[in-house]
Amino acid sequence: MFARHELSIAWRYLRARRAEGGISVMTWISLIGIALAVFGLIATLAVRSGFRAEFVDTIVGANPHVTVTQVGEVLPNGATTGTIAGYDALTERLAAVPGVVRAAPVVAGQVMASANGRNVGLQVIGMTMEDLARVPRVAEPEQRVGALADTAQGIALGWQVARQLGVSVGDAVRIISPDGVRTAFGTSPRVKAYPVTYVFQVGRYDIDATRAYVPLAEAQEYFNRAGVVDEVQMTVADPEGVDALNGAILAAAGEGSFVWTWKDQSGGYLRALEMEDNVMFVILSMLVMIATLNITSGLVMLVKNKGRDIGILRTVGLSQGAILRIFFACGAAVGVAGTLIGVVLGCLFALYIDPIFGFVDRLAGGGTWDPQYRYLSSLPAKLEWGDVASAVILSLTLSFLVTIFPARRAARMNPVEALRYE
C-alpha cells in the first residue's frame, strides 16, 4: 500500500525540527494525548471488569446460587410457618437435578450479638460442617483466624463482626434472640454464649459485617426449628445460567415451593453496574476522539509548512495518491505509536494495580478505599483482551479517520500555486 520512498518522506517530516518547517511539538502533543486516552480507557475497562468479576465472585462464593423455600405448615389462625419438614428427601431430590452441584438444608435467623459491651446485628446461618466446608469463600477466605472444623463446637464470625465486637478466636460471644423460649407466661428472649472458633473475611463488607455460622443441629435448637429447616440452599455448575434451571428445580421441589436465585437478589445492582459501564465507555471514547483530533491540527500545520515541498514532489512526478499516502502515514504513525504506548501503560496498570494503589493510598495518608461504602475489601482489576482489543480498534479507527481530511487537502494542492512565489 505504501511505497518505500513515501514512508521515508513521511518519517522525515515527523522528525523534522521546527526550524525546518516540522511540527515535532504538535506531534509529541498528539502522541501523548492519544497514549493517555487509551491508557485511561483500558485502565477503566480493567477496573470495571475486575469490579464486576469480584462482586459476582463474592456473591456466588459466599451465598447460595439458588434458595428453595416452602409455605410450610398452615397454623389454625391461617398463618404459615414457612419451614420445610422432611428436608432430607427434598435435599436429595434437588441435588439430583442436572446442573446442581450440591444442596444443603439451612436454618437462618436474625439475632443480636454482644461482647465487650458492644452490640451488632447478626445473621446466623446453621448448616452441617460438611456443607459449610464446601462454601468457597468461607472455607478459603481472603483472611482467616482459627480452623473451620472447630466451628462444630462454637461459632464462626465474619471479619468485620469480630472487629466491631472486639473479639477473636477463643473469646465468647452472646447471641440474643427475641423469639426464644416458649413458657406458660409467653415467649422470653433466648440468650446463649458461644466460643468464637473461626473468623473469616469474604472480601465483601455487607457479608463480613453481618454473617455468622453455627452447626445445623445447634441452630435448630436455638431457633426452635426441631425437625425442620428454613430453606435449602443450592450451588450450580453455571451461576450465570442459573435461570435455565428454575423449571427443573421447581419440579423437584414440588407444590408450595418458591425459588430465589442470586440474580434475583443482586440483579438490580448488576443492571445498574452494566449501565454505568456503558456510560463510562462512551465518555472515555469521546476523550479518545478529542485526543485524536490533535492529529488533524498537527497535519494541517504540516501541510501548510510543506506547501513548497508538495509542489516540488508533484512536479517531479509524484501523483496525488502518493502525496495522500505520505501525509496519511504521518498521521497514522502518530496514532499507532500513541495507541501502543497507551496499551502498554494500561496493561501494566491492570497487572500491577495492587502496588500502584498501595502507593497512592500511602501518599494520601491511608483510608483511600473504604469497604464499608464500596463493599469490596480492595480495588480489583481484570485485564480482558476483548476490552484491550476494543480500545485499540477505537483508537486506530479514529486516528485513521481524522487523518484523511488533511491528507486529501495536501493531495489536492495545486503545485503551480504552491511554487508561484518561490
Name the average pLDDT for the chain: 84
> How far apart, in whole angstroms, are the C-alpha atoms of residue 84 and residue 108?
12
Note the pLDDT tens digit of each residue in 234-252: 999 998 888 899 999 999 9
> How far apart, in whole angstroms, are the C-alpha atoms of residue 393 and residue 72?
57
Note the pLDDT tens digit of each residue in 148-161: 999 999 999 999 99
Residue 2 identity: F
| Angle formed at CA 129 by CA 126 and CA 132, multiple of 5 degrees | 70
At 181 the three-state DSSP class reads: strand
Tell me the three cell numbers of residue 47. Answer: 477496573
Tell me the three cell numbers of residue 33. Answer: 494525548
Whether the CB-CB separation of 129 and 215 falls below 8 Å is answered with yes
Q: Which residue has the cell 515527523?
A: 14
pLDDT band at 255 (very low <50, low <70, confident <90, very high): confident
DSSP string, 133-169: TT-HHHHS-SEEEE-GGGGGGSEEEEHHHHHHHT--T
Q: Is the pLDDT of residue 113 over 90?
A: yes
Query: Cα torsion at 373, 113, 106, 226 (round to 10°)?
Result: -160
pLDDT band at 27 (very low <50, low <70, confident <90, very high): confident
Q: State CA 204 to chain mean position distance.
A: 12
What is the CB neighbour count within 10 angstroms for residue 150?
16
Note the pLDDT tens digit of each residue in 179-220: 766 666 666 788 999 999 999 998 888 889 999 999 999 999
Q: Is the pLDDT of residue 104 over 70?
A: yes
> How far apart, in whole angstroms, are the C-alpha atoms of residue 334 and residue 399?
8
For the chain, the domains span: 4-57+269-419, 72-255
